[in-house]
Every structure is written in C-alpha cells, then in structure tokens.
Amino acid sequence: MKKLSLLLTSMAIAALLFIGGYEAIENVRYYRWHADFGGTAWLGTVTVPSDNPALMWEYRPHARHKRIRTNNFGFRGDDVEVAKSPNTVRIAFIGDSVTLGYGVEEELIFVSVFHDELQKKLPQTVEALNFGVDGYSTPQIAELMRAKVADFRPDHTVYTICLNDFDFTTSAGEKVRYFRKPTSFFLVKLEHLYRKMRGLDFHTYKFRKNRDQVYREILDMKAVAEQSGGSFETALLPIFPQQVNSFAYYPHDEIHQDVEAFAKSRNIPFTDILKVFRSSGGPPRAYSNDVWHPNADGHRVIGERFAQSFLRNHPDLERPQP
C-alpha cells in the first residue's frame, strides 16, 4: 500500500509539473502571438476593445476597412437616429459576420436586399438596421441586443443564426483568444484532442455542447424585443461545405431540425434558409466565398427569402392600395 501510495503521489506530482510547465510555455507563446495579432483582424481600424466585458470588442463609429464602413453608432450602413421617424417600419438584424456581410459590397448584402424588396411592397419607410459584428457568438449577440439594439426600439428583430454561433471560442478568427486569454491552455488542448480522437464534426460537437445555453439566450433576446414593444424572429443559415456538390447532401440536417423544433415550441417565427438553397439548385460553393460566408448570389437568395417570410409573418403591415 505504501508503494502504491508513493507511486500515485509521484504520478500526481509529475502530472502537476507537466501541466504547470505546459501552461508556462503556452503563456509565453500567447503573449508573443498577442503582440503580433494586434496589427491584424481590423484591430484599431474598425475593431476596438469594448467597455462591455461581455461583448469584448465592437466597431469604431465612422470607420472604414475595405468594403466595410460603419455609421455613427459603429454598425455597418448609413448614419441613423435612435428615435424612429413617423410612418417608418424599423427592422433590426442581429448576428455575426454573415449578417455583417463580410466580403460583400454593402448594397449586395442580404440586409440591403431585404430592405429593397420590402420597400417595393410597403408604403411606409423601411429601415433595415444591420447590427452584425464579425466573430460574435450567441452570448455576445444576446448582450448586444440587451446593451445596444434595444435602445433603437425596433418594430421587429431578426436573429440570423449561423452554426458557428454555437461555438463560443474558436470561430471568431482568434478574436476571443485575443481579448480574453484562456483560463487554461491545457484544458483547451485536451478538448481539442478529445474531439479529434473521437472524430467528432466541429459544428455538431459545438452544437451539442452549447445548445442549451444558446436556446436560453434566444429566449432572452425574445423577451428583450417584446419588452421594447417589438417582435422577434429567427432564421438559421446553412454552412456551405465546399466539397459537397449539392445541398441534398448537406451534413447538418439534424441541427436545423432541432433549432426549428425549438423555435416552434416557443412560438418564435422561424425561417430555415437551407430549404431555400436546396430549392435553388447548384452546389454550396456557387453561393459562397467559404464554408461560412455567402457571396453576392448567396446574399441575394437570403435577402429575397427574408422579405417573403417577413411579409408572411406580419400580415398586419399596411399594403399599398391597388
């Protein structure tokens, strides 16, 4: 028993020394990387640290970077007043870099397409406000809703969900890691090795891990929207697997079905954009710049469908007389 106890103690000490050494080495690497990363990823030009620790980062007002320009509140698009003008329908879109329209000209992103399509159908002035921020996951988007979007008192809020919203750490182009140092590099490595050894798909793994929290955040967004006097709805965007030749072979139907079932069970209007792309034909790569970001054609499809779904979900809106 003494030998066994000594062996276990020795193993525990060795493990602690190994983990401590690993953490020390990774901390040195982290701060070296942190210094280099500070000059990339729009940092300083558009992206700046947020005073809100839950947001971590936000956009600088009146900034420009490649195709992106921000307004007086630091969101993509024209300047806007907090108070809504009379005879105006204000729709707020919240989400990540897909909602932002990363890589696509402003007039071609789905928020702009939605605005143009809706304005053709309604006599009121349509305001489609784009609150997309690249790298945000669902908890950040929910905090954005509470801290900023609610102040604009939109008539309707649309959360465009991406599958990487279920990942709270690694899908942000390293921004989470930059603004919030990992508590333990060793635990991060263990999780990565576990997923790799099990052969678990990234999106499915993150969905199963964080599903319940994401659903709680969505319910909170709904409550905030309704407290501000507006409605709330969701839409789920597909990823665009570049090696898949048809949306008929899309690998994440289970996730889409689960999100739709959740939304319906809570009376949240829901649009599954995957179904639209399936009916449009063509491979995923025809509508995208990469696995997550639609190209201009993809944004057109999304924007047109959003406009159709929105009018169907809100038959109370005024229509022009024939």
pLDDT tens-digit profile, the chain (322 residues)? 777 777 777 888 888 888 889 889 989 998 898 888 866 656 778 899 999 999 999 999 999 988 899 999 999 999 999 999 999 999 999 999 999 999 999 999 999 999 999 999 999 999 999 999 999 999 999 999 999 999 999 999 999 999 999 999 877 768 898 999 988 988 888 888 888 888 888 999 999 999 999 999 999 999 999 998 999 999 999 999 988 899 999 999 999 999 999 999 999 999 999 999 999 888 999 999 999 999 999 999 999 999 999 998 888 886 554 4
List own/partner pairs for 75-80 with CB under 8 A and 24 or more apart.
75/129, 75/130, 75/131, 75/132, 75/133, 76/100, 76/101, 76/106, 76/109, 76/130, 76/132, 77/106, 77/111, 77/129, 77/130, 80/127, 80/129, 80/152
Give the C-alpha separation, 82 to 72, whole Å.
11
Confidence at residue 322, expressed as pLDDT on a 0 to 100 scale: 42
Which value, to the nearest 10 degrees, does the dihedral of the CA atoms of residues 148, 154, 159, 165 take? 0
Which value, to the nearest 10 degrees, does the dihedral of the CA atoms of residues 280, 94, 232, 281 take? 0
In this structure, the strands spanning 47-49 and 57-59 are: antiparallel
Structural domain 49-313, CATH architecture: 3-Layer(aba) Sandwich (3.40)
Q: Residue type for 155, please? A: D
Confidence at residue 321, expressed as pLDDT on a 0 to 100 scale: 42
DSSP letter at 30 equals H
Confidence at residue 318, expressed as pLDDT on a 0 to 100 scale: 63
Count of C-beta atoms within a 10 Å radius of residue 299: 25
Residue 92 DSSP SS3: strand
Backbone φ, ψ for residue 58 (5° rounding): -155, -175
Residue 209 in tokens: 């891990």
The size of the chain, in residues, is 322
Is residue 42 within 8 Å of residue 102, measured between CB atoms?
Answer: no
Count of C-beta atoms within a 10 Å radius of residue 76: 24
Contacts of 264 (CB under 8 A, 6+ apart): 270
Helices (H) and strands (E) in the chain, counts: 10, 9
Confidence at residue 126, expressed as pLDDT on a 0 to 100 scale: 96
Task: Measure CA 44 to chain center.
Answer: 21
Among 157, 180, 176, smallest CA distance to 167 is for 176
Containing 64, the helix (H) or strand (E) segment is strand 64-65
